[in-house]
Amino acid sequence: MSTEFTGERVIPGLVDVDLWNEHFSRYSFAARLARRKRVLDVGCGAGYGTHELALTAREATGIDCSAEAIAYARQHYTKENLRFETASATELPFPDQSFDLVVAFEVIEHLTEWLTLLTEARRVLAPGGQLVISTPNKLYYAESRQQSGPNPFHTHEFELEEFRAALAAVFPHVSMFLENHAESILFQPESGGHGTEVRLEPRSGAATESHFFLAVCANELQTGAPAYLYIPSSANVLREREQHIQRLTAELATKDAWLAQEQTAHQSLLRVHDQTIAELKAANTWAQTSNESLQASQQRVVALQDELEAEQTAGKQVAASYEAELQRLEAEKAAAVAWAESKDREWSAAIAAAQAELRQCLEKLHEAEALVEERTLWAQGLDREVAALREQLALAGASKWLRLGRRLGVGPVL
């Protein structure tokens, strides 16, 4: 897998050589204390430093809170005595007295609960163990980042005495070291050669002006604190400076060309500016004329407001008269409604009486209709009886026996 340098972690091959040497030299310093020891690298990042410690340590463990960083380290650095784990610097997942050496380079300034890092480191250190820890100088760091601004990944940066006091509050024995890029002149055999002699001049300048602070902390008394000089393989400083000057010269030429273009553009902008000024003057003249018209309009508005106020007063008077007339009409309406309600009650009573009388008339009519129907049926019965009698008389009148009886003077008289 590949990863990208964001400024939070150093990735081999993706950072400036000086920045790489600055970080790697600390692991070179600590490697002298790691021989045949159990080593813990807190905030191991990409894992290159843990691998350097594993070259001399009995076993080396690197931890980091970033799973991506741990995955990168496992992919790029493998060794029998080397392992990487995802873990927090303030919650070390190890038993007490598990390590002989703990290193924490450029970690403490990233933590809000930075004191917990120190107490956790002391907890996992075996008797006689040491903590090697570093942090940037707050004063120098602020000066070097004036243009780029504060490091967004730092939560608390230390000055020298604050750093010393913080370490001394947890560890009874603290040896302070100052880390700086120092100019040196190297005489190195072209081939062969054994041993190295170093002449180190007395330190000049205040300790508070150092670039980084590095401390070796322990619970037991430490003996000796020799200076350590790390000379990277690309140590021809003059050649590197000349190459850097050449790059700066090329950049300067590019900037000069850009500046010439900017000057041409500036002249164009000046012409646009003059044209804009002329247009602005014309606009100001128009604005002045418009302002006079506006003042006249404002005066007319004031007059119209006075007229409107008079009209509103007259309107209020008319509205008052309308209101009085409305109240009178409302009173008349209320009287009319009361009269109508009274009449309605009277008419309702009259209608109820008429309805009762009508019901009585209907009942009598029904009785009369029943009587007429009864009489009609009786009359119809009589008609039938008369017809029967007439039929009998007709039959009798036609009987020869009755005619004979009448001649003889006997029989019924019809």
- pLDDT average, residue stretch 177-206: 73
At 168, is the pLDDT very low, low, confident or very high (cuts 50, 70, 90)? very high
At 276, is the pLDDT very low, low, confident or very high (cuts 50, 70, 90)? confident
- pLDDT average, residue stretch 251-278: 81
- pLDDT average, residue stretch 197-224: 80
- pLDDT average, residue stretch 186-199: 70
How much is the pLDDT for 278? Answer: 87
How much is the pLDDT for 1? Answer: 46
How much is the pLDDT for 400? Answer: 73
Which CA distances in Å does 191 have to 90, 109, 194, 300, 325? 48, 43, 10, 103, 125
pLDDT for residue 4 is more than 60: no
pLDDT, greater one: 285 or 39: 39
- For the whole prediction, is pTM greater than 0.75? no
Alpha carbon distance 225, 113 (integer Å):
29
98-107, 189-198, 222-231, 364-373 — which one is most confidently predicted on average? Answer: 98-107
For 374-385, how does the pLDDT look when each residue is reduced to its tens digit (9 = 90+)? Answer: 888 888 888 888
At 303, is the pLDDT very low, low, confident or very high (cuts 50, 70, 90)? confident
For 221-264, how does the pLDDT look when each residue is reduced to its tens digit (9 = 90+)? Answer: 887 677 777 777 655 555 655 665 677 677 778 777 877 887 88
Alpha carbon distance 230, 26 (integer Å):
9
- pLDDT average, residue stretch 78-90: 96
- pLDDT average, residue stretch 366-372: 86
- pLDDT average, residue stretch 99-127: 95
How much is the pLDDT for 13? Answer: 66
* Beta-ladder partners of 41: 62, 103
Closest CA to 179 of 46, 31, 32, 28: 28
pLDDT for residue 2 is more than 50: no
Q: Are 157 and 228 in contact (CB under 8 A)?
A: no
At 310, is the pLDDT very low, low, confident or very high (cuts 50, 70, 90)? confident
